[in-house]
Structure 1
């Protein structure tokens, strides 16, 4: 059975719901487990840790983090199920295309556009969450881990998880009406990226920018640095702490 035949032989709504969750579980928890296990199985990776070991979360804190993440994922799953029900109840078309498979060029184009749109949506949402009133009431829990771990990528207030984690990620593919395969590739890549930048390790230059945000509580509000460059809120070292708000 070809991939195209597989897609056309299943209910699009149920298929998208099921495989989206499978991808979320695989590409969030597998990297998270790897990063948490690195110091125990490959001690040499400690040289890539960004902050002092004394700041690393304790086992009870990691357990608490996991509980909050599971709660947020249950919330997201329920929200997703509600959307599927609405589509089914009112006979709405799927949010993604399920026709012929997209070309490599189309996939690369759509993923690039999705990354840019997500950067814009996340930057402004994240920046708003750092205003004093919203920071105290909503965003502060996410900064509990000043030296973050991969699991902490989804450690957040439920409202923040919906508005800052889920919507900036899911809106761009829906707006662009990308193929469902493109959506799954984009989702997997973004999950790998967010676990990497919250991992506390930096192997390829990905994590330093967001790790600094957790360490300093300001600056580096975006995901790829584009909007921080435009607004002058990028930070590359702790010496720049006072330069941005």
Structure 2
């Protein structure tokens, strides 16, 4: 089955652009700049817009905040951002930069220092769609498992130094709000956010294009899940992740250690709605939508019959 002419031309143009980029720049530069651009477009830029909305229009933001006034950066409609909120935003940005620099350092040590192949593949050959889908599935499953065990047994283990850092930094927040997805002590942040994200990509040795898609999805997930808003793009994935992120913080870290909630459901550490509840909600909504469409089609059919009868009678 041949592709339409326009599709073939778009693919050709994309490949020529990618080939020009790879041939004219070192692989490490392509990887780091690509990673930074993805983070900028899909996380930092929208999160900053959300943050400005919360700060400049708190009365409007409260209406769509899941936790009401508690979900605002200052915790109150009348409160003004101060040094505390500025520190949260600053550390979130620094952690994001730190993760990109660490990724570049790892690649530099592997390729230049040890003479090994890079953790991510930057090559002219493009990955097949099914290979990308397989890598993405494996990456997200690995990320969920890593996030759960690191979060539960490292960041919430009594007596651990990194657990104290995580508690005194991230758990000092009243509720998630834009940019807090990357706010934490740098050590806790690298363990909880960087390792589960970059680790699976390096393990499966993602092609750079696969990594761009993978990181884009994660960035969008973090943007909306930690925004604190009730109205989210989807009611299952991002909506469920957002509720679990809220409850993890509000419950004082008593559960919801994973991202998707699958591992929490398996090990019985869910707080609030579980993945099963989210899926049930969606099934119910889908059933309602099906019923609505059936009723609409029947109504239209009756209308057509009535108009036909009138024409015949006339």
Among candidates 102, 106, 115, match of residue 91 of structure 1:
115
Q: Which is greater in Rg? A: 2
CA distance in 2, matches of 1:127, 1:80: 24
CA gap 1:175/1:55 in 2 versus in 1, 3 angstroms: closer
Conserved? CA contact 2:178–2:227, under 8 Å: yes
Conserved? CA contact 1:31–1:195, under 8 Å: yes
TM-score, length basis structure 2: 0.69
Q: Does 1:147 align with 2:159?
A: no
CA distance in 2, matches of 1:44, 1:224: 29
CA gap 1:104/1:91 in 2 versus in 1, 3 angstroms: same
2:132 match: 107
1:243 match: none
Conserved? CA contact 1:102–1:179, under 8 Å: yes
1:192 deviates by: 1.3
Post-superposition Cα deviations, 1:184-228, rounded to whole Å, max 9, x if no partner, equal 110111011112111111323321121111111221110111101
2:261 match: 225
1:115 deviates by: 0.7
Conserved? CA contact 1:4–1:100, under 8 Å: no
CA gap 1:176/1:210 in 2 versus in 1, 3 angstroms: same
Q: Does 1:190 align with 2:213?
A: no
Cα RMSD, aligned residues only: 2.2
2:40 match: 25
- Larger deviation, residues 106-115 vs 45-54: 45-54
CA gap 1:233/1:178 in 2 versus in 1, 3 angstroms: same
* Match runs of 1:1-245 below 5 Å: 2-9=16-23, 10-39=25-54, 40=56, 46-58=62-74, 59-60=81-82, 61-86=84-109, 87-97=111-121, 98-128=123-153, 129-134=155-160, 137-140=164-167, 141-202=169-230, 203=232, 204-205=234-235, 206=239, 207-217=242-252, 218-236=254-272
Q: Which runs of 5+ in 2 are unaligned?
A: 1-12, 75-80, 274-314
CA distance in 1, matches of 2:89, 2:32: 23
CA distance in 2, matches of 1:52, 1:228: 26
* Greater RCO, CA 8 A, separation 6+: 1
- Larger deviation, residues 175-184 vs 46-55: 46-55
CA gap 1:103/1:43 in 2 versus in 1, 3 angstroms: farther
CA gap 1:108/1:102 in 2 versus in 1, 3 angstroms: same
1:37 deviates by: 3.6
